[in-house]
Amino acid sequence: MTEIRHDWTKEEISEIYHSPLLDLIFRAATVHRENKDYSEVQISSLLSIKTGGCSEDCAYCPQAARYQTDVNVHALMSLPQVTDAARRAKEGGASRLCMGAAWREVRDNRDFDKVIEMVQAVNAMDMEVCCTLGMLTESQAQRLADAGLYAYNHNLDTSEEDYKRIITTRTYDDRIKTIENARKAKLTVCSGGIIGLGETVDDRVSMLRTLANMAKHPESVPINALVPVKGTPLENQPLVPIWDMVRMIATARIIMPKTVVRLSAGRTQMSLTDQALCFMAGANSIFAGDKLLTTPNPSVNEDMQMFEILGLKPREAFKNGRPQVASKEEEITA
């Protein structure tokens, strides 16, 4: 069985990343088979519960208020709208609903109270619930955990060295702190990054090293390919070659053997063969549905056809256990 390490050097990870492609894929596929059922793929559905108007300046994001994009601002969705979306996602094969709000940070207000109700309702539908709401305090993370949240997503986006080129409205340490707060609340962590931002390969290696050397590896690592959006500072970035995605996925699989590696944004530009290579290289999760927050995604029917062709099967929810939900008495005393 592959050793689980938390002391990787950049040189070691770089050597893996740059190894001959067929050797890299073979090694990653071997690690995958040693640690997981390679044919099992976790399907998530991503829902934007509050869209646009964000005060951040993430250079890739069309939801930033300061950029002129085609994204319209929408207030927080209602509970019935969310549960209806969750039901449709579950019927489409998703075992997890990821709810995203275009906030810089969570605030202790009525909107957060509504999110807590959404988490409780979707958890009661036997779906894993993930949230990505921006920065989070320890007490807010605990409140989400008590409501039944399964995972918290907070991507690193890029390397610490490259970070200020992409985002200036919060620091890298802010991101690490939010992940630590999620851990303190015993939430599972979803954290990855985006390639195609204009970063160097060394930046990619550095980001992977940060993830792999955490005290506990993230349970889920999304690997996103930038989808350039008109009106953002990165609108003219070229699309990422499929080989770069394969190398990132394979390297992540090798250095984080038990982590779920998600083939995330950018799938609309990939052929069935491209995606098959990514699964061979160790990807075992996807987002299903026509949109990823504000960017296009393959349809559910296309994904189910792909699963049938490749011999893949959806992973059931709560395979590693359900979260502990606080009782009414515990909520009152908290």
Q: Name which of 98, 44, 88, 45 is nearest 284 in CA terms.
A: 44
d(CA 334, CA 332): 5
Q: How far apart are CA 187 and CA 150, in angstroms?
A: 6
Tokens 């988490």, residue? 119
Q: Catalytic site residue 58?
A: yes
Q: Is 262 a catalytic residue?
A: yes
The residues pairing with 296 across neighbouring beta strands, listed in sequence order, are 291
Does the annotation mark 278 as catalytic? no
Instruction: Give the C-alpha separation, 284 to 224, whole Å.
Output: 14
58, 209, 247, 267: the active-site residue: 58
27, 54, 175, 247: the catalytic one is 54
Q: Which of 143, 170, 247, 262 is catalytic?
A: 262
54 is an active site residue: yes
| Tokens coding 132 | 């990505």
d(CA 235, CA 93): 33
From the centroid of its chain, how far is CA 107? 22
Counting Cα atoms < 13 Å in the Cβ hemisphere of 158 gives 23
Q: List the catalytic residue out of 27, 130, 204, 247.
A: 130
Give the Å distances, CA to CA, from 270 to 29, 239, 276, 283, 298: 20, 11, 10, 14, 10
From the candidates 27, 61, 175, 267, give the one annotated as an active-site residue.
61
Distance of CA 139 to the CA centre of its chain: 22
Return the bridge partners of 292, or none.
Answer: 295
* DSSP assignments along 233-295, one per residue: TTTTPPPPPHHHHHHHHHHHHHHSTTSEEEE-TTGGG--HHHHHHHHHTT--EEEESSEETTE
Instruction: Point out the catalytic residue in the list 190, 247, 253, 315.
Output: 190
Q: How far apart are CA 197 and CA 208, in angstroms?
A: 15
Question: What is the radius of gyration, based on Cα positions, of the chain?
Answer: 19
Catalytic status, residue 98 = yes
Q: Which of 96, 98, 253, 278 is catalytic?
A: 98
> Which residues are annotated as catalytic?
54, 58, 61, 98, 130, 190, 262
